[in-house]
Chain A
Amino acid sequence: EAAVTQSPRNKVAVTGGKVTLSCNQTNNHNNMYWYRQDTGHGLRLIHYSYGAGSTEKGDIPDGYKASRPSQENFSLILELATPSQTSVYFCASGDRDWGGFYEQYFGPGTRLTVL
C-alpha cells in the first residue's frame, strides 16, 4: 500500500480563493516536506516539519502556510491563491536510515490549477 498519500490529486481553484492540500503518511516518519515542481525549476522546498505541531519555512515559503496537526498529517494552505501557484505539489516523509542519513519518500502529487 502507498505509504504517502495526497488529496486531492487534481484541483482547480479561482484566484483569491483558499486552497488546502492534504498529505497523510503511514511510515511513522518524524519529518515531512512540501515541494512544488515546475519546468525549469525542478523540485523546490516550500515548508517542512520535524513532527506534530512544528512547521518550518523552506526555500520558497511566500504565499504558503503549513500545518502539522499529527505525526501522520501535513497540510499545505494557500490562503489567497494566485495563478503563479499553478504547479504540481509533492508531499514527502523522511527519517534517518540505518546509516544515519535521511531518505525521503514521496506521494503521487497534486496538480493544482489556479484560474
Chain B
Amino acid sequence: GDSVTQTEGQVALSEEDFLTIHCNYSASGYPALFWYVQYPGEGPQFLFRASRDKEKGSSRGFEATYDKGTTSFHLRKASVQESDSAVYYCALGDRAGNTGKLIFGLGTTLQVQP
C-alpha cells in the first residue's frame, strides 16, 4: 500500500540554522502531498500542500517541492526560530475518490535552541 517515510525522527538546531526534513513517499497513483505541524498540546495543523510534479508549496517561511522523479517532498526553512519547535508530519492524500484519507509519516520532532 501507499506509505510515507520521514528519515529523521528528531532534529536539534540552533536559531537561524537551516532546516531540512526529508520525506519520501511510495504510491500507486499520483497523490497530493502535505506537510502538517503539531505544537505541544494541540492537534496537527495544515501547513501547505502540493498536487503536481515540480509544484512548490510554502507557508510561514517553510517550503517543499513535489518531485515525482525522486518521490520526495522535503521540508526546508532557511532560518529557524525557537517558536518553530514542534512535530512535523509529511502526508499523502488520494487524488481521486471521496474519502479524503491521508497517510501520515511517523513525524519529525524539531527542537530549536535559542
Residues of A within 8 A of B (CB): 4, 31, 33, 40-43, 45, 48, 50, 56, 58, 90, 92, 94-96, 99, 101-109
Contact = CB atoms under 8 A, between A and B. Distances in A.
B19 interface: no
Nearest to A95: B100
Interface residues of B, number: 22
A31 B43 contact: no
The SS class assigned to the A binding surface is: strand
B46 A105 contact: yes
Contacts of A56: 99
A31 B100 CA distance: 8
Interface stretch (B20-28, B71-79, B103-111): B103-111
B45 A106 contact: yes
A58 B46 CA distance: 21
B32 interface: yes
A94 B91 CA distance: 15
A40 to B, nearest CB: 7
A90 B104 CA distance: 14
Contacts of A99: 51
30 contacts: A4-B43, A31-B98, A31-B100, A33-B100, A41-B106, A42-B89, A42-B104, A42-B105, A43-B44, A43-B89, A43-B107, A45-B101, A45-B102, A48-B101, A50-B98, A56-B99, A90-B43, A90-B44, A92-B43, A94-B100, A96-B100, A101-B93, A102-B100, A103-B34, A103-B46, A103-B49, A104-B100, A106-B45, A109-B42, A109-B43
A108 B41 contact: yes
Contact of A108 (B34, B42, B93): B42
Contacts of A40: 106
B43 A101 contact: no
A58 B101 CA distance: 9
Top-9 shortest CB links A-B: A106-B43, A102-B100, A42-B106, A43-B104, A94-B100, A101-B32, A31-B100, A106-B44, A42-B104
